[in-house]
């Protein structure tokens, strides 16, 4: 699948097939995260792939909208290594939210390319997630995404026309 075709094909999955995800596909998807750009090429990420049924159920309970997470074969938990992240960019922001967002975008596109599906989850109780997965204090959980073979997708949202989001030389 071509890159632009994969990007255009990404959809949030609402239900996953129970089929296991082949290990080579898991590695291909997470490997795509390694190639994301990051501030100063620090690559401040760590990804935990969760397959344990009890752990997935508990993770789903720690999320505001994790109802379909427990049914997915896998959950990928994206963590930022705060000791490695660039503390301030331009004096106004830490780099890890952008760094991990770029890495998770690669995960999403790679999953689609591999015939898999995802659904980003960013509303969760971080302390519960950290406790469940023994994540150290110097790491920050940025997001979780179920990973598996799609059975159903969330209702597709329309996309704004390019003219609504593109400007040249000034905002308006």
- Give per-residue pLDDT as tens, 107-138: 999 999 999 999 989 999 999 999 999 999 99
- Residue percentage of the chain with pLDDT more than 90: 62
Report the mean per-residue pLDDT for the chain. Answer: 89
Q: Which two tokens stand for residue 135?
A: 């994540």
Q: Which two tokens stand for residue 166?
A: 């593109």
- Give per-residue pLDDT as tens, 12-36: 888 899 999 999 999 999 999 999 9
- Report all structural domains of the chain as residue ranges with CATH numbers, in order of start: 3-150 (3.40.109.10)
8-state DSSP, 82: T
Which secondary-structure segment (H or E) carries 133? helix 126-133
Task: Report the C-alpha gap between 5 and 17 in whole angstroms.
Answer: 23
By DSSP bridging, strand 74-81 and strand 13-16 are unpaired
137-167 per-residue burial string, b: 16 or more CB within 10 A, e: under 16: eebbbbbbbbbbbbeeeeeeeeeeeeeeeee
- Residue percentage of the chain with pLDDT more than 70: 94
């Amino acid at each position: 699948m071509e890159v632009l075709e994969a990007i255009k094909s990404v959809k949030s999955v609402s239900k996953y097939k129970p089929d296991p995800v082949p290990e080579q596909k898991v590695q291909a998807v997470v490997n795509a995260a390694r190639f994301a750009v990051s501030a100063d090429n620090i690559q401040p990420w760590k990804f935990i792939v969760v397959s344990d049924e009890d752990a997935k159920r508990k993770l789903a309970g720690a999320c505001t909208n994790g109802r379909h997470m427990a049914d997915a074969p896998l959950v990928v938990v994206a963590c930022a290594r705060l000791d490695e992240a660039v503390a301030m960019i331009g004096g106004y922001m830490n780099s890890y939210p952008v760094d991990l967002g770029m890495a998770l975008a690669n995960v999403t596109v790679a999953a689609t390319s591999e015939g898999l599906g995802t659904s980003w989850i960013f509303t969760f109780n971080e302390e519960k997630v950290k406790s469940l997965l023994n994540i150290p204090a110097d790491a920050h959980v940025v997001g979780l995404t179920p990973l598996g073979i799609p059975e159903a997708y969330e209702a597709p949202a329309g996309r704004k026309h390019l003219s609504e989001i593109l400007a040249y030389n000034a905002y308006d």
